[in-house]
Structure 1
């Protein structure tokens, strides 16, 4: 009698190499969930899961479809789409040209990228197709590709929600410090890359005090970012359970207030969100920075194949 294979779905179809789950993607261009805070409607991501282990990451739920949990597994069991560039190039051949985001289901420049180097091929595919794109990351590894990103007309959105290191250690334990990310912004700007800061996620009752917001915006402006886009923490299913379990242990007095602030879909109260984003917008204007969504980068005309010389 055959014994049922009770391993998680991803373990039955992936090859495990160096601690990563290596797979062959069937599709690369995916619709962005409305709760993500990302302005693009479509995204491509070479990795699922993220070693940055950010407690408020909105992509956690997707790990459940792999037979993994949305908590610790999301942080430690990283899925690699080994054929990402090849699959993306095939889909772009019939793409209608809408802008895309890169790195929505996991930071595209996290530790796995140092091993697999999938991003250069993906950037090349998007550039050749003339598709505008924005890279979302917290990782200094993006500097490795600064030249090809600048040449492709890409935008990089570096996530810096707060500059308090104590908060960072608690809610983004695997991510680079805010100071390293601010230095990253400056380096990208110097390299000619259009660099904005995604001030996400602003944490209600933890990183939203007036002095905290002012300090964060001031340091973002000093780094030379072209603009800042604030996003208040979202708590969709999967993320909500993981974040609130931490909150109950670390800040039990805030649990009831979060229950009042968030609706069933995990969205914060509109009034609260408008107040926080309004404060950040005012601060940004005082430093001469744009605040909020901006038009997608223009992209470049598709690169035609070079004619052979006879």
Structure 2
């Protein structure tokens, strides 16, 4: 949205930036995006370099969400505000169509700064337009979600050849309730995968984030991959928890209260940028890769192939 270019200073108004730039409707901050196609931070761990996100902030309230720092640039905090003060890019479809008129065809991720099928989508219905715009421009794209509302658009997603990656990091409900309190349970997401596959949608699972010392035991990984395979997913894309600024403070604060003995071990495992130890990450990725091979699924990020744009002319919007 070009938030970094906006000044946080206003001599006569000390409200958070977003409250000065947006209209509050139905509990959501409704604003006009300056930019829709944004660069994906390298630390995110997903395959795509570019993303489109109709929403910023997320009611799923996942403690390890790597997008939390974005709320700081709006004058909000990266903890509770990220979970409860969701920003809606009301002009997302029109702005996206304008930008796709000069897009080079690189693959795009959808739903990186906030789940694109969270509750706000029930009100604003931005995703059908986003999907149609991307498909019409011939862009390969992947929708990242853990929201059952995606089934509303299953027919459209199947017709347009969209890829959908459903986030299922673990199947232990005790862990899910602690670190993903606003999201539906693992079983519901496994059933979502099955329903998408049955509807003809190309569906894989984003096994992310794998939580060090909490969801990374061999039996936990095995149970998760086995149930993902049984749900009919074609592949698993694993990502170990990242702790960039903003996310790190919120996650570590929770960890200190819930699992204080693990704090020191996390501090040893993660570098200043929030990346886990390469040796640890390689071990976990290797274990998941072996499990996927055992259950007949592909493992790892899919190959990203840019397509020639269908509308290479400059946009007049």
- TM-score interval for Structure 1 and Structure 2 normalised by the shorter chain: over 0.9
Among 6, 11, 14, the residue aligned to 1:6? 14
Corresponding residue of 1:279: 287
Corresponding residue of 1:206: 214
> Secondary structure of 1:35's partner?
helix
Corresponding residue of 2:247: 239
Say if 2:153 is the partner of 1:145: yes
> Secondary structure of 2:43's partner?
coil
Per-residue CA distance 1:152-175 (angstroms, 9 max, x = gap): 111000000000000000000000
Per-residue CA distance 1:195-238 (angstroms, 9 max, x = gap): 00000000000000000000000000000000001100000000
1:219-258 equivalences in 2 (<5 Å): 219-258=227-266
Say if 2:190 is the partner of 1:192: no
Corresponding residue of 2:6: none
> Secondary structure of 1:229's partner?
strand
- C-alpha change, 1:244 and 1:258, in structure 2 (3 Å) is same
Give the Cα separation in 2 of the matches to 1:113 and 1:196: 22
Per-residue CA distance 1:4-51 (angstroms, 9 max, x = gap): 311100001100000000000001000000011111000000000000
Q: RMSD between aligned alpha carbons?
A: 1.6
1:302 CA drift (Å): 3.8
Among 182, 187, 193, the residue aligned to 2:190? 182
Give the Cα separation in 2 of the matches to 1:200 and 1:36: 11
Say if 2:42 is the partner of 1:27: no
Say if 2:112 is the partner of 1:79: no
Give the Cα separation in 1 of the matches to 2:32 and 2:306: 30
> Secondary structure of 1:52's partner?
coil
> Secondary structure of 2:106's partner?
coil
Give the structure-1-normalised TM-score. 0.95
- C-alpha change, 1:35 and 1:228, in structure 2 (3 Å) is same
1:301 CA drift (Å): 7.9
Among 160, 169, 172, the residue aligned to 1:164? 172
1:300 CA drift (Å): 9.8
Unpaired stretches in structure 1, ≥5 consecutive residues = 304-310
Verify the 8 A CA contact 2:105 2:309 in the aligned structure 1: no
Per-residue CA distance 1:109-154 (angstroms, 9 max, x = gap): 0000000000001111111100110000000100111111111111
Say if 2:49 is the partner of 1:41: yes
Among 121, 135, 143, the residue aligned to 2:129? 121
Corresponding residue of 2:116: 108
Corresponding residue of 2:7: none
Say if 2:97 is the partner of 1:89: yes
> Secondary structure of 2:189's partner?
helix
1:250-269 equivalences in 2 (<5 Å): 250-269=258-277
1:299 CA drift (Å): 7.1
Among 26, 39, 42, the residue aligned to 1:18? 26
> Secondary structure of 2:266's partner?
helix
Verify the 8 A CA contact 2:145 2:165 in the aligned structure 1: yes
